[in-house]
Structure 1
Amino acid sequence: MDGRDEVSRLLARIALQDAKAFEALFTMAADRLMAVAMRVTQDAAMAEDVLQEVFTAIWNRSTAAAPGQHRTLAWLCVVTRHRAIDLLRKRKPEEPLQWRSATGEEHSHDVAAEGASPVEQLLVQESDARLSHCIGALEHDPRRALMLAFYEGLTHAEIALRMQRPLGTVKAWTRRSLMRLKDCLEALT
């Protein structure tokens, strides 16, 4: 049996969903079809996409031959070539990131980063460092009361219970600590 009849025989078995026939056809034809796709697309990834489309179409029986046409390896090469050309036509032209205008000026696209800019990140770090410095300058108990209020969200009454201090003392510590923080941060700016 020659290669021409072998491809037809395998395609007929694949039409019956014979996975072993599909594997045999892939082993027999994939390298040749990949070369055809590469010659047309000049891009390995695109050629692989073409090859995948061709073999998917073969498995799904959407590569039916025209009446009287004998399906051979040459026929599969033509199908692959046409798929590669179709893929190239669908592909949108890529715009380069850098280009020269008619006047010779260099231009480039600039894509904004999703996060904060380096300057913004630096300002946040500096701000955090100043705040840490100012909080560190507070006395221990007033600092703890302030931290419980702002980082744990406790009310004055809850802070007083947790620290076992009078409610008025906790309120005074919180108010004075906030005023000291404000003064300290303003002095560092």
Structure 2
Amino acid sequence: MTESQSDEQLLAAMVSGQTEALRCLYRRHVSLVYAIAHSICGQDSDAQAVTSQVFIELWKSPDNYHPQRSSLRTYLTILTRSRARDHLRRSQAGVRIEASLDPQLTPTVASLVDSTDPGQNLAAQEDAQQVRRCLAGLSDESRSALTLAFFHGHTHREIAKKLKLPLGTVKSHIRRGLADLADRLRKDTGSDTREH
């Protein structure tokens, strides 16, 4: 497995059971997943639990992703927002939450998403800062729409009402914002990862 492979190539390898493919996808997308989870949940431990859940779900249910509908980055963004909102609701309802790992996962995958390593936690926090830095460079319209959609969990209709914009305009701002954010992240890290 190499970092130059596309998301689709890595997903195909992951489906065939190659855990190194998941490692590559994790390294490629963890910064955005963690940043969204942290922005919604507000706590490092909760963000780490949600990040683990998202990548475990990708490993266990890769067929939930449909490449003809969106890029993997967009899919993970939407999945993270959903899982973070669920996590936050359970937490606010007083339900005890533990980031438990599925015993059926291989030790390699379990160690990948285990969020107890302080070095990994620090790297994830630095990645989240990188996402916030890149987000700050977006246009005001795209930044506002993305922040409301993915960091605060508002629906497109709610955003349209809040920003007093047509629904189609809000969707366009979000699409352009995600594309711009992904491009800025690639340039900021100097990576050559590709969206498909």
| TM-score category of the 2 structures, normalised to the smaller one | 0.3 to 0.5
Between structure 1 and structure 2, the one with the greater Rg is: 1
Structure with bigger RCO (C-alpha 8 Å, 6+ apart): 2
Give the TM-score of the pair, scaled to structure 1: 0.43
Give the TM-score of the pair, scaled to structure 2: 0.42
